[in-house]
Amino acid sequence: MIPLRSLYVRDKEIKLPVFMPDATYGYVRSLSSDDLRAVGLLALMMNAFHLMQKPGSTTIQALGGLHKMSDWPGLIMTDSGGFQAYSLIRQNAKFGSLGPKGILFRPEHSERKINLTPEKSIQLQFSYGSDVLICLDDCTHINAGYEEQKLSVERTIEWAKKAKKTYLDQLSSRKVEPENRPLIFGVIQGGGEPELRKRCAEALLEIGFDGFGFGGWPLDDDSNLITDILELVRSLIPEEFPIHALGIGHPESVVTAYKIGYEMFDCALPTRDARHGRLYSRNVSRITPDTRPGWLKFEYINTETHIRDDKPIEEGCDCPTCQNYSMGYLYHLYRMRDSSYYRLATMHNLRFMTRLITDLRSANA
């Protein structure tokens, strides 16, 4: 665990740890920016690759950049598209290819080809007005063979050099004052190979970044967090630099990773779970970094026992949903497929995450 601190970007102070929901296309599904504020969020993770397709870079600029467009004055971090290359292309080569210069995407149902290079990814993130930029990386599965991991690490380092150069060029060509500069994070790859993780971490430290991301799929075949590799990577990076646990957002994984020294988290899971009817609850009043797994409870909305359930999703939750609505009513909205269900359920799960973060902070205070 790292002593409490903040991330300073432009005029913002973001207290760490922080959880950010995935707002891939510039929004969290079903929620307004008021809703996001109401559940105590400080930051959102958007995706440069998806945004360049929809609504498109020129549209985002015409609408005043990501902050203005989404009415979100808090922190916006943008992911580069490296993980999308992994999840699309590595699973199915018809969706594109990876080469030394970058990633070629062939989106489904489209004749378009999208070429994403480390340089272009940084230029895009700059033009969107993002607060924290992430370098394009070559993401692998934890179980990929050694040679594949090695290639991914060498490529990630090469791309990080190009990304950093582009970042510096953008700062000077846009005449950005030091206090107004966005931050830039490099991503540490290397799968389950300790020496490759070390090679990647050392090379990225030498290039110089404001923070780092833990890259690659973070779970083993049994869906357990790869804590040994997470611990190793944290030990390779001096404590002064924050590390973002990319894609980690299962509530129990957040606690485990925070204890190891990770302070930034993003994930689509809490919002996706809410929409699919899996609502979060806990069986202990306060969570600390030492709380053992088993404290998380799931309430499945699509359960007939909820028909006349007049209690909230979670007793003690201060979210607008729990304050005003019963499980029975949410069950009704869910069964009727009303869009208000998605909003109310998502607000609860996100408030669950921000309460968890508050608990971790106060336990470490």
Q: Is 155 in the site for Zn ion (CB under 5 A)?
A: no
Please give the structure tokens belonging to residue 147.
Answer: 């040679």
Q: Is 350 in the site for Zn ion (CB under 5 A)?
A: no
Query: Shortest Cβ distance from residue 27 to Zn ion (Å)?
Result: 21
Question: Could you tell me if 197 and 146 are in contact, meaning their C-beta atoms sit under 8 angstroms apart?
Answer: no
- Residue (184 or 344) nearer to Zn ion, CB: 344
Question: How remote is the C-alpha of 201 from its chain's centroid?
Answer: 20
Residue 341 has, within 13 A of its CA and on its CB side, a CA count of 22
* Active site annotation includes 266: yes
- Residues 129 and 32: their CA atoms lie apart, in Å, by 20
CA dihedral 82, 87, 93, 97 (to 10 degrees): 0
| Candidates 131, 137, 138, 266; catalytic one | 266
Q: Which of residues 48-107 bind Zn ion (CB under 5 A)?
A: none
Please give the structure tokens belonging to residue 286.
Answer: 């306060």
* Active site annotation includes 79: yes
- Residue (39 or 69) nearer to Zn ion, CB: 39
Which span sits near Zn ion by CB under 5 A: 75-83, 195-203, 234-242, 340-348?
Answer: 340-348
User: Strands of 114-116's sheet, edge to edge?
Assistant: 96-99, 102-105, 114-116
Neighbours of 101 (CB within 10 A): 15
| Candidates 79, 138, 273, 359; catalytic one | 79
SS3 22: strand
Q: Is 348 in the site for Zn ion (CB under 5 A)?
A: yes
Query: Shortest Cβ distance from residue 324 to Zn ion (Å)?
Result: 10
Query: Shortest Cβ distance from residue 345 to Zn ion (Å)?
Result: 9
- Residue (140 or 321) nearer to Zn ion, CB: 321
At residue 322, what are phi and psi to the nearest 5 degrees?
Answer: -65, -30
Q: Which of residues 272-331 bind Zn ion (CB under 5 A)?
A: 317, 319, 321-322
Query: Shortest Cβ distance from residue 19 to Zn ion (Å)?
Result: 15
Query: Shortest Cβ distance from residue 355 to Zn ion (Å)?
Result: 9
| Interface contacts to Zn ion, rule CB under 5 A | 317, 319, 321-322, 348
- Supply the residues annotated as catalytic: 79, 266
